[in-house]
Structure 1
Amino acid sequence: MNQRDLADYLGKSTAWCERARWAGEGPRYIKLGRHVRYRADDVLAWIEECARTSTTGGAGE
Structure 2
Amino acid sequence: MSAKTDRLLDVREAAERMGLKGERFPRRLVAERRIEYVKVGSHVRIRESAIDAYLAANTVEPIRRRPRSRALRRAA
Same fold (TM over 0.5): yes
The TM-score, its normalising length taken from structure 1, stands at: 0.72
What 5-or-longer segments of structure 1 have no aligned partner? Answer: 56-61
Residue correspondences, number:
54
AA at the equivalent of 2:41: G
For the pair 1:18 / 2:27, whether they are aligned, the reply is yes
Instruction: Give the match for residue 51 of structure 2.
Output: 43
- CA-CA distance at 1:54 after TM superposition: 4.3
Bigger Cα Rg:
2
**RMSD of the TM alignment (CA)?**
1.7
What 5-or-longer segments of structure 2 have no aligned partner? Answer: 1-8, 64-76
Greater relative CO (CA pairs within 8 A, separation 6+): 2
- What is the distance in 2 between the residues matched to 1:45 and 1:19? 17
Contact persistence 2:39–2:45 (CA under 8 A): yes
Runs of 4 or more consecutive aligned structure 1 residues displaced over 2 Å after TM superposition: none
Q: Deviations over 1:26-47 (max 9, x none)?
A: x311011101111111111111
Greater share of helix residues, 1 or 2?
Answer: 1
